[in-house]
Amino acid sequence: MKPLSEATFKQLRDFIHEKSGIFIADSKKYLIESRLAKRIEEKKLGSYEDYLYYLLYGNSSDELIKLFDAVTTNETFFFRESQQLDVFVNHLVPSLLSSKASKELSLWSAACSTGEEPYTLSMLLMEKGHSIKNKILASDISEGALESAKRGIYNSYSIRNVPSQYLKKYFKLNGQSYELSPIIKNTVKFMNINLVDEKKMKLVSGMDIIFCRNVLIYFDDKAKKKAVSLLYDSLKPGGYLIIGMSESLHNITRALKPLVINKVVVYQRA
Ligand SMILES: C[S@@+](CC[C@H](N)C(=O)[O-])C[C@H]1O[C@@H](n2cnc3c(N)ncnc32)[C@H](O)[C@@H]1O
């Protein structure tokens, strides 16, 4: 197949950006070239130009799902960024519960990939003796990642940070795979939600804590601002947004106030 030309790359990049917020820098052209080559082969299209044409003018809503699977990076693992998890379970949860008449919190893992993040939150709450009546909402744009999340079967890479008492209690080793216990699986409900799709985002409201970690790094500032403003709307007053440890909302929002707890930054809606 003919290599991806500069002009077609730019058009594909703009299309992906418009639909998902993901911005692909010039230096990552090779990534798009290789990831989309598989789609073009599967669709039996002859070139990147044909594929672009199909996305723009074909009846391509199914292809959009495949495109999102192809362009997203789904890297994640259980107990990722444990300092934040500690602040979540030992500070935010007790503080929110003490100020509430009800003992139930609404939690959302807003780019959950293959499920390790929301399942980690669920295990932490269980260990602290919290009942999880309101299921934890977990969402992602990648249908492939969500399907895998619902299966709840993991490899040794995903579970490498799981403390041994959790591993014993909540996983069953089956050959080379670790199967998550239904006790945890049943506490999470999955949805396909695109962080820059206003209609979908407006379906979620009244959240106490939102985790949106390690996804905004793939967006440009315009898309970050849009997603963060929609996340803000989904929070209750006093609710918290947690982004990745290496991310910042500097110049992205003034509405969410940064708070530092045990060296961890969390953002609170006033
Ligand atoms: C690197 S993973 C992070 C997973 C998890 N939050 C963590 O920190 O381990 C990024 C996830 O963001 C998802 N994503 C990318 N763009 C998105 C969008 N516009 N809406 C929702 N999810 C998106 C990807 O599909 C991917 O699963």
* CATH code linked to domain 82-269: 3.40.50.150
For residue 54, pLDDT beyond 90 = yes
Quote the mean pLDDT of the chain: 96
For residue 133, pLDDT beyond 80 = yes
Residues with a CB atom less than 6 Å from ligand 1: 20-22, 72-76, 80, 111, 113, 117, 140-142, 145, 194-196, 213-215, 218, 244
pLDDT value at residue 59:
78
Q: Which residues touch 195 (CB under 8 Å, ≥6 apart)?
A: 21, 110, 111, 141, 201, 212, 215, 227, 230, 231
Q: Where in the chain is the domain with CATH 1.10.155.10?
A: 6-71
Structure tokens at 228: 């963060």
Structure tokens at 256: 């969410």
Q: What is the dihedral of CA 23, 268, 200, 113, to 10 degrees?
A: 60
DSSP annotation string for 13-34: HHHHHHHH-B---GGGHHHHHH
**Strand partners for 243:** 212
Please identify, in words, the CATH class of the domain defined by 6-71. mainly alpha
* Whether this model's pTM surpasses 0.85: yes
Q: Where in the chain is the domain with CATH 3.40.50.150?
A: 82-269
Q: How far apart are CA 15 and CA 11, in angstroms?
A: 6
Q: Using one digit for the tens of pLDDT, what is the confidence trace for 65-107?
A: 999 999 999 999 999 999 999 999 999 999 999 998 778 999 9
- Ligand 1 centroid – CA 250 distance (Å): 20
